[in-house]
Structure 1
Amino acid sequence: MTLFLFVLLAALVFEYINGFHDTANAIATVVSTKVLTPRSAIVWAAGWNLVGALMGTAVASTIGRGLVDTSVVTMATVLCALLSAIIWNLFTWWLGLPSSSSHALVGGLCGAALATAGDNWAVLKWSEIDAHGAHYGLWPKVVLPMLASPLIGFVGGWLLMMLLTVVLRKATPRLVQLIFGKAQLISAGFMGHSHGSNDAQKTMGIIALALFTGTQSGIFDHVPPWAHFLYTPTFHVPYWVIFACALTMAAGTAAGGWRIIRTMGHKMVKLQPVHGFAAETTAALVIHGASVFGIPVSTTHVIATSIMGVGASKRLSAVKWGVVERIVWAWVLTLPVTGLLGYGLAQLFHALGQ
């Protein structure tokens, strides 16, 4: 029971860090275009993050039972997965790099599960089909979306910005500024909502996995009557988990993440409100679609490449590719580094438990 409490605490810490680490995803563009002040933008994003986090559990189910064999997972596995994701998130936040919290959690879970299973790679679900004929596993739910979503974000941002350029070609700069200064409030809210609907659910899934694992292993058999709500004989996401994760992510978002906001909003591309609207709308549509289908995409990847696509619509040199290169390296390294961290922590935990 004590170990579960540590897992729950680590999960909520991860969710809080995810909130301030990924705040930039929702508000970097609206801050850089000066449509909202930083404080107002954070409040706006936090509110919509909260609303989005309460919408559905498809992504949570993917994280909790669709990527690794739950029969092998222990409470220590879940704890090591969370710790590896927390370490990586804090490290990249310190560097000001917008890495993926989603991939950090997935990498940590896979590494920890592999160590728990005694290096049996069969513990990882690569590509399977459920009773309804739907595909799930690491390949269709993580690897393919990891490759496709940034590309869709870049192309979508470029196309939408080109379309807006054609539509607005006769409009005065003042009129464009006036229209999209207001419209960007809507796109920023949509982005915050989409971010909450995808990112908050990842922690919901990991807590639900811990509850299911604890029930199967008998940890909750002798809890006092007031704690019977922990008993979870079948995998599902309880309402208290949904609300706890939603509120924690909103609180983290409200804390801000200024290092990453500066990278996302100022260093990659110089943005005007119309560019911010195009980038946020594109990213929000991609992320919302992924949430509906239970795909845990990286909101960081999608909004960053949408910003790049919008910038490239002006000219390729408008994008500061040196900054982009640093971001891409963080993306590439996230899964393997957190996988190794999760594996190493699980091995250490096992050794200490002997």
Structure 2
Amino acid sequence: MELFDLFANLDVSGAWLLLIIIVLALGFDYINGFHDAANSIATIVTTRVLTPFQAVLWAAAFNFAAYFISLYIIGEFKIGNTIAKSVNEQFITLEVIFAGLIAAILWNLATWKLGIPSSSSHTLIGGFMGAAIAHAGGINVNGEDVIVYAKVIPIFLFIFGAPFLGMILAYFITVAIMWICRKANPHRAEKWFKRLQLVSSALFSLGHGGNDAQKVMGIIGAAVISFHMGLPDGLNPYLEIPNADRFSYFVDHWGWVPLASFVFIGLGTMSGGWKIVKTMGSKITKVTPLEGVAAETAGAVALYVTEHMGIPVSTTHTITGSIIGVGITKRISAVRWGVTISLLWAWILTIPVSALVAMGVYHLVHLFI
């Protein structure tokens, strides 16, 4: 049953709320794009490989191209499925998803305004969980956990795991490149690495699009399934489908949602996020074309690995760790650790603050809906 068919059902008000949630989710997707644009373009802008305008067009094109890789090469949207199932289905309502989205949008706009490269992924997850806990009245109700810990614990672990993986990969890639090119002409080598940065940036943009666009798909999928579960049996096609297969059924029958998710994150990336570009490209450590190639390649590999595992990680955390990794190949003091520690605090606070904001938004919304 497609979106506009829902208005023919008895629950017209629920259909309108679902429509609002879809619009908000795609809006969040757009904000995610310009908030996280720096992840893909910071190094190619600061090393002057591309102008800012050329860089965002380049990144946006590969953000969107990730749709075809997820659909035709990987063949599934594992991360979207993880997001949709991070909260116990019986505690998901349209009001919960609405409140979670509002909280995520507020946090993303606030951190963008301050130039803090925080995680769009984690604020979305934190908002979703916080609103669900507010709806349930606790983390465990009648012996049922509100949060699906098997899905959520890996996400929490990779708050630190993703940047650490990026840092280790970037360190060893940088060392390997420097050893291989130790006898190369420096001027000629720099020209080659500027060209290679286009490739490494494209690879990272593919990982960013494939990772982050799916999170919005997961939220919309959860909303669509929740809406249908509230309809009479004859109008609920999900009733006869096992819980494990419901997200796949949603993707098959709402095929425009994955496409729209990738389109909107690409459009958002084209809008850029220049304050965060400055933080990522120069405030953590000075980045050369060689180091840009190493950082972006390491970040891309880390994203591909976690996407294969179905773990929604932060592209922001991953590339930040990678930039730190190339910095410490020069010397430990080459990394501005004061800036890094400030970013770490933002990462730690993102999920709990988003959850608390979502709780407040849920209670406020519940007064009117």
What is the TM-score with the length of structure 2 in the denominator?
0.88
Q: Hey, what does 1:134 align to over in structure 2?
A: none
Name the CA distance, whole Å, in 2 between partners of 1:276 and 1:297: 21
Q: Hey, what does 1:226 align to over in structure 2?
A: none
Q: Secondary structure at the match of 2:231?
A: coil
**What does 1:316-335 align with in structure 2 at a 5 Å threshold?**
316-335=332-351
Q: Give yes or no for contact 1:214–1:220 (8 Å, CA) kept in 2.
A: no
- Which of 28, 33, 41 matches 1:14? 28
Deviations 1:234-272, CA, capped at 9 Å, x for gaps: 333231100111111110011111111111012111111
Query: Does residue 244 in structure 1 map to residue 264 in structure 2?
Result: no
Q: Which stretch shows the higher mean deviation, 154-163 or 248-257?
A: 154-163
Name the CA distance, whole Å, in 1 between partners of 2:237 and 2:64: 26
Query: Which residue identity is paired with 1:267?
Result: K
Question: Offset at 1:347?
Answer: 1.9
Q: Hey, what does 1:32 align to over in structure 2?
A: 46
Deviations 1:17-36, CA, capped at 9 Å, x for gaps: 00000000111111111111
Query: Does residue 3 in structure 1 map to residue 17 in structure 2?
Result: yes
Q: Secondary structure at the match of 2:287?
A: coil
Name the CA distance, whole Å, in 1 between partners of 2:82 and 2:165: 22
Q: In structure 2, do the counterparts of structure 1 residues 320 and 163 end up closer, same or farther at CA, with 3 Å as the change threshold?
A: same
Q: Give yes or no for contact 2:32–2:120 (8 Å, CA) kept in 1.
A: yes
Q: Hey, what does 1:264 align to over in structure 2?
A: 280
Q: Hey, what does 1:104 align to over in structure 2?
A: 123
Name the CA distance, whole Å, in 2 between partners of 1:221 and 1:315: 66
Name the CA distance, whole Å, in 1 between partners of 2:196 and 2:66: 19
Query: Which residue identity is paired with 1:91?
Result: A
Query: Which residue identity is paired with 1:32?
Result: T
Q: Hey, what does 1:197 align to over in structure 2?
A: 210
Q: Hey, what does 1:59 align to over in structure 2?
A: 79
Q: Hey, what does 2:99 align to over in structure 1?
A: 80
Question: Offset at 1:232?
Answer: 5.7
Question: Offset at 1:120?
Answer: 3.6
Query: Which residue identity is paired with 1:5?
Result: L
Q: Secondary structure at the match of 1:327?
A: helix
- Which of 142, 166, 183 matches 1:170? 183
Query: Which residue identity is paired with 2:50?
Result: L
Query: Does residue 157 in structure 1 map to residue 177 in structure 2?
Result: no
Q: Which stretch shows the higher mean deviation, 340-349 or 246-255?
A: 340-349
Deviations 1:181-236, CA, capped at 9 Å, x for gaps: 111110000000000010000000100111101111129988xxxxxxx9765333
- Which of 212, 235, 240 matches 2:247? 235
Q: Give yes or no for contact 1:11–1:203 (8 Å, CA) kept in 2.
A: yes
Q: In structure 2, do the counterparts of structure 1 residues 45 and 220 end up closer, same or farther at CA, with 3 Å as the change threshold?
A: farther
Name the CA distance, whole Å, in 1 between partners of 2:262 and 2:280: 24
Deviations 1:69-97, CA, capped at 9 Å, x for gaps: 01221001111111111000000000000
Name the CA distance, whole Å, in 2 between partners of 1:298 and 1:194: 11
Q: Which stretch shows the higher mean deviation, 111-120 or 37-46?
A: 111-120
Q: Hey, what does 1:287 align to over in structure 2?
A: 303
Query: Which residue identity is paired with 1:328?
Result: L
Q: Hey, what does 1:309 align to over in structure 2?
A: 325
Q: Hey, what does 2:315 align to over in structure 1?
A: 299
Name the CA distance, whole Å, in 2 between partners of 1:221 and 1:77: 25
Query: Does residue 339 in structure 1 map to residue 351 in structure 2?
Result: no
Query: Does residue 43 in structure 1 map to residue 57 in structure 2?
Result: yes
Name the CA distance, whole Å, in 2 between partners of 1:241 and 1:232: 17
Question: Offset at 1:5?
Answer: 1.5
Query: Does residue 138 in structure 1 map to residue 139 in structure 2?
Result: no
Question: Offset at 1:160?
Answer: 1.0
What is the TM-score with the length of structure 1 in the denominator?
0.91
Name the CA distance, whole Å, in 2 between partners of 1:107 and 1:240: 26
Name the CA distance, whole Å, in 1 between partners of 2:237 and 2:367: 29
Q: In structure 2, do the counterparts of structure 1 residues 69 and 327 end up closer, same or farther at CA, with 3 Å as the change threshold?
A: same
Q: In structure 2, do the counterparts of structure 1 residues 58 and 153 end up closer, same or farther at CA, with 3 Å as the change threshold?
A: same
Consecutive unaligned residues of structure 1, counting only runs of 5 or more, are 128-136, 223-229
Name the CA distance, whole Å, in 2 between partners of 1:265 and 1:289: 24
Q: Give yes or no for contact 2:159–2:347 (8 Å, CA) kept in 1.
A: no
Over the aligned positions, Cα root-mean-square deviation in angstroms equals 1.7
Query: Which residue identity is paired with 1:156?
Result: L
Query: Which residue identity is paired with 1:6?
Result: I
Name the % identity: 41
Name the CA distance, whole Å, in 1 between partners of 2:130 and 2:105: 14
Q: Hey, what does 2:9 align to over in structure 1?
A: none
- Which of 183, 198, 206 matches 2:196? 183
Name the CA distance, whole Å, in 1 between partners of 2:339 and 2:215: 28
Name the CA distance, whole Å, in 1 between partners of 2:146 and 2:315: 27
